[in-house]
Structure 1
Amino acid sequence: MPLAMTLVAGAGPATPPGALDAAGWHHAEWHGVAPARFRPLPDGGVAVEGDGEGSFVWRRAQGGAECLSWRWRVDAGPPPTDLTRSHGDDRALAVAVGFAGWPARVTFWQRSQHALAQAVAGSHPLPRSALLYVWGGTGQEPARFPSPHMAGLGMVRVLRPAATPHGRWFEERVDLAADWRAAFGGEPPPLQELVIGTDGDDTRSRLQAQVDSLRFGPCR
């Protein structure tokens, strides 16, 4: 899948103005994949439903890399899939943070792939790197691994495998600066976007999930 179709693409056809836009979220689609259905939640998050579908919402973020906290739950989602592979890697939820700068050891090839994706995205500036936190997968994936769709510009952590009990809220808190250093080396660049996505098209899975109470703040 090209970089422009990944979670941090921020590309795709614009959705009509509505509740999502009023809440500050922008809905975007992957080429050739029917979009899931998102709606805003009272505390700034979103709920998503789908039947073998996938898409994502994004909003602007700014400031330095601090800690990000949220809560999430899955009531229905894909079965375990190998998230290190580029085909069949469905997941119930992903919370991704896009950054305005490159990894410390970015290559010419990576810059070229990003430039191709940017040409597809048009006027929307794409993040140059990303951290992705996932509910899904087998639970056997490495602690951190490159997204198979992002030309090495996105690093994935599985926080909750697909076998995590459904119907319960789970609290998360991640140190973005520490994760950046572990993933890419060097000091993290400024934040650019926050993205929430779901993907159930390969397994044709029913999706019902929520992410809420998203907060950036100091790590204590």
Structure 2
Amino acid sequence: MKRLALALAVACATPLLTAAISPGRTSPDLERLGWRKVEWQGIPPANFTATPSGGVRVQGQGQAGFVYRPLQGAASCLAWRWRVDAGPPATDLTRKGGDDRAISLTVGFADYGPQAGFGARAQMAVAQAVAGDHRLPRSTLSYVWGGTGREGAGQFFTSPYGPAAISRTRIQRPASSPQGRWVEEKVDLGADWRSAFGGATVPALQEVAISTDVDDTNSPIDARVEDIRLVPC
């Protein structure tokens, strides 16, 4: 979870500070769907391509990276389906180093939560200065396929790479989940944001990202995410 936590809240809004990431070469099929690829310097980039039905497939071994695109509207419910055909073993996503996961879906919001104080906002200001014209999300929620499943005991927890006031993570499917089959998901973004950050007013949606991180365990990765959509709760 590491690097996406400090690229969606510090670059798509916080993986390592933006200086550690750079625009990747987006495949034409994904670019046509509105996705943009981002890589981490010094880590071989995973291969992101479009699926025949307009989703995203990530493949590789011992690699990392993510793609993102706009997601606009009010924070209703978000639905998608995903599958993992190959991925890393269970790792502790609260511990720096060795915290690999097969895939995650991260939602970026347009404003901070009420607990974002001076320190978090200052960190974001530095990241925004590096990011240039692309306005970074001010808070993010990540839903992960990977980890032990004990992190947060089904609740949102803080990544060791990002401030709690900006970036929170939840295990949606642990690494032990059956592979090779599609799984349908539906989450209430409004309720989840309030649970993670507090406050009553949920910011507007801004972006969605799909990431993988299997470099620490040098694991193979083959995973897909399809049919990402906002639906009534």
With normalisation by structure 2, the TM-score equals 0.89
- 1:189 lines up with 2:203 in the alignment: yes
2:52 matches 1:38: no
Matched with 1:171 is: 184
Structure 2's unaligned 5+ residue stretches are: 13-20
RMSD (Å), alpha carbons: 1.7
Matches within 5 A, 1:135-154: 135-142=145-152, 143-152=155-164, 153-154=166-167
CA distance in 2, matches of 1:28, 1:91: 17
Corresponding letter in the other structure for 1:91: R
Q: Which residue of 1 aligns with 2:68?
A: 58
Equivalent residues of 2:101, 2:147 under 8 A apart: yes
Q: Distance in 1 between matches of 2:90 and 2:5?
A: 25
Pairs aligned (count): 219
Within a 5 Å distance, the mapping from 1:30-109 to structure 2 comes to: 30-109=40-119
Which structure: greater helix fraction?
A: 2
Shift of 1:139: 1.1
1:37 and 1:62 mapped to 2: Cα distance?
A: 26
The Cα shift of 1:31 comes to: 2.3
Q: Is the 8 A contact 1:99 1:191 kept in 2?
A: yes
What is the CA-CA distance between 1:119 and the residue it aligns to? 2.3
Contact 1:4 1:121 in 2 (8 A): no
Distance 1:5 1:32 in 2: 16
Structure 1 residues 15-55: Cα deviation after superposition (integer angstroms, max 9, x where no partner): 25611111111111122211100111244320110110000
1:113 Cα deviation from its structure 2 partner: 1.1
Distance in 2 separating the partners of 1:87 and 1:122: 29
Structure 1 unaligned regions, length at least 5: none
Matched, 1:6 2:7: yes
Equivalent pairs: percent with the same residue? 53
Distance 2:219 2:8 in 1: 18
Q: Which residue of 1 aligns with 2:228?
A: 214
Q: 3-state DSSP class of the match of 1:104?
A: coil
Residues 125, 45 of structure 1: alpha-carbon distance in 2 compared, 3 angstrom cutoff? same
Distance of 2:195 and 2:162 partners within structure 1? 17
Partner of 1:145: helix, strand, or coil? coil
14 and 36 in structure 1: CA distance in 2 versus 1, 3 angstrom threshold: closer
Which aligned runs of 4 or more in structure 1 are off by greater than 4 angstroms?
1-5
Letter in 2 for 1:150: G
TM-score (norm 1): 0.94
Q: Secondary structure at the match of 1:113?
A: helix
Query: Quick check: 1:86–1:148 contact (8 Å CA) kept in 2?
Result: yes
AA matched with 1:218: P
Preserved contact between residue 47 and residue 59 of structure 2 (Cα < 8 Å) = yes
- Name the amino acid aligned to 2:62: G
